[in-house]
Structure 1
């Protein structure tokens, strides 16, 4: 009888421990614009080390996520923002929506990947940069010479053969537009986009879609970003990856804690991991430029010196002028945008 009682007590204790472990699980709601296939890898690795934290993702393009966060300002639904454009996070910071936090090891990151305040309101992960995806097969059929610069894209022979992202919905689109305004100046930047618009077939609501369209032959030229270009080329697409001679706009994937979260300690744990060497090594599968120095290895099909091609992007300027830029762009060019899904 004693043995049976011991067995029952042991089973009861095990059940209590299991119940306690379940009760201690913290759920984080995470808003993100990370590419879906990468998000799955990152989440799986994090969860192995932190099984007590369950990650629930709300994923969309940069502009959509940013708009959602701003709409929820007075009633935040997210705990953490993991992988959103730094220009978007600067807007949210101005609105007082971010909880400052210095993740463990933040001092090891490149200074430009860390918010200037102490403690920082956000921290960077990796950088993505503009590039042109040129379908060599379709280009040859049409007798089109491969462009080498942004200005080349305004040549009349490219009319109807270019697709680019809408900056209001795509972070890649916004880095294109804001970088052209910085590269060429405001007056000449809008004049450039006026000329480019004549050749645009459509504006998509995804930064990766123009390159995917070029990869499949739906268009000849897709203005996109270097990670998607390298991935499509690796998958066998007949693409040349063009890094325009004037230099390329860029933004960084960055993360932050949403002010007012009820799960602050779990949120800090995720941010700690998001800047770790392990995380940076995972980011390097697709991204050539990382927040942590001396970790990145060359990405196949991308130039080893791609970081040197990135312009001196003024993130503060881009963030402060974001609404005005998008309003003007929408007024001028939105008629060619794809319908929103």
Structure 2
């Protein structure tokens, strides 16, 4: 696996440094541990050299858009599904119907159908938060169980959430609140929540990692990211909000104009296999895999136990809808921070 040469090439706007048919230029939007593990295992069983860079899903989408006339990426793996759908809507990715589609859960296939097969679901996970039990107990703050609880003035400075412009996690949160409350009410809520936010992070999982380190009380994240911190022994309690919540379909897409198309399809098919998806618990990743035969960790939050909204992936993955919400967030929430 190579990272340095690819990053240097991207930094100066050059074409990928390696251009043989046995290479793959991959953007990974999952946690760096699973990114590195999945590439390592793929390379062990395939004669393909992977050049991998890790970017949050919002950054990955921006990269694909900036490179549309001269693609330097072959495949985008992981990250929340909305930016993948937007990339599909913008024709930045290309259709591919993997022979493994029949092995997948309905929600993963639905993601592909919503995008005319320009993307596919690889895992899912619900939105919630993790809180540091020691910090809240020390300050005498009651643990928040609902979205409404997060606006309690007692939590001022104790919440972190990512910026939806860079983070797919945060965009899922934004779209979730709009669907739960209506757009205007959601932005009123976000303004109240903002009074308690100490930082809008770049990465979606960063808030709960900060909570685990004792730097903040609460991190709004996908629940599996909070489980990962608790599993490492940090004093993190995982919450699914009482009013209901959204969820992600982490996705995978082949870039339109991919130079190493055959290698991209090979990785794509492998990433949908049980062999690949069973690696997630090994990397301390607790998402639910899209292959029906893959085995999720028993610690993974079950969607059946969580009050989920009927998240409209097709609508909130549309370019104009997503851009409207991001622009409004930047103007009303980000600018006021």
TM interval, short-chain normalised: 0.7 to 0.9
Q: How far apart are 1:287 and its partner, in Å?
A: 2.6
- Structure 2 match to 1:172: 169
Q: Secondary structure at the match of 2:122?
A: strand
- Structure 2 match to 1:130: 127
Q: Is the 8 A contact 1:247 1:310 kept in 2?
A: yes
**Kindly tell me: are residues 329 and 58 of structure 1, through their superposed partners in 2, closer, same or farther at Cα, counting changes over 3 Å?**
same
Q: How does 1:54-69 map to 2 (within 5 A)?
A: 54-69=49-64
Aligned pair partner of 1:317 in 302, 315, 327: 315
Q: How does 1:63-212 map to 2 (within 5 A)?
A: 63-114=58-109, 115-116=112-113, 120-212=117-209
| 2:24 matches 1:28 | yes
Q: Is the 8 A contact 1:210 1:223 kept in 2?
A: yes
Q: Secondary structure at the match of 1:99?
A: coil
**Kindly tell me: are residues 119 and 212 of structure 1, through their superposed partners in 2, closer, same or farther at Cα, counting changes over 3 Å?**
closer
Q: Secondary structure at the match of 2:30?
A: coil
- Structure 1 match to 2:260: 263
The TM-score normalised by the length of structure 1 is: 0.86
- Structure 2 match to 1:328: 328
Q: Is the 8 A contact 1:31 1:82 kept in 2?
A: yes
Q: Secondary structure at the match of 1:202?
A: strand
Rounded Cα–Cα distance in structure 2 between residues aligned with 1:88 and 1:148:
28
For residues 165-197 of structure 1, the C-alpha deviation after alignment (integer angstroms, 9 at most, x for no partner) is: 111111111111110001111122112112111
Rounded Cα–Cα distance in structure 1 between residues aligned with 2:264 and 2:107:
23
Rounded Cα–Cα distance in structure 1 between residues aligned with 2:336 and 2:163:
9
Rounded Cα–Cα distance in structure 1 between residues aligned with 2:91 and 2:280:
28
Q: Secondary structure at the match of 1:309?
A: coil
Rounded Cα–Cα distance in structure 1 between residues aligned with 2:163 and 2:104:
31
- Structure 1 match to 2:218: 221
Q: How far apart are 1:120 and its partner, in Å?
A: 1.5
- Structure 1 match to 2:292: 293
Unaligned stretches of 5+ in structure 1? 1-22
Between Structure 1 and Structure 2, whose CA radius of gyration is higher?
1
Q: How far apart are 1:226 and its partner, in Å?
A: 1.6
Aligned-pair RMSD on alpha carbons? Answer: 2.1
Unaligned stretches of 5+ in structure 2? 1-18
The TM-score normalised by the length of structure 2 is: 0.87
Q: Secondary structure at the match of 2:37?
A: helix
Q: Is the 8 A contact 1:288 1:299 kept in 2?
A: no
For residues 232-279 of structure 1, the C-alpha deviation after alignment (integer angstroms, 9 at most, x for no partner) is: 111111111111112222212211211122322111111110101111
Q: Is the 8 A contact 1:85 1:171 kept in 2?
A: yes
Rounded Cα–Cα distance in structure 2 between residues aligned with 1:182 and 1:230:
25
Q: How far apart are 1:305 and its partner, in Å?
A: 4.8
**Kindly tell me: are residues 134 and 45 of structure 1, through their superposed partners in 2, closer, same or farther at Cα, counting changes over 3 Å?**
same
Rounded Cα–Cα distance in structure 2 between residues aligned with 1:231 and 1:284:
10
Q: Secondary structure at the match of 2:238?
A: strand
- Structure 1 match to 2:9: none
Rounded Cα–Cα distance in structure 1 between residues aligned with 2:85 and 2:20:
33
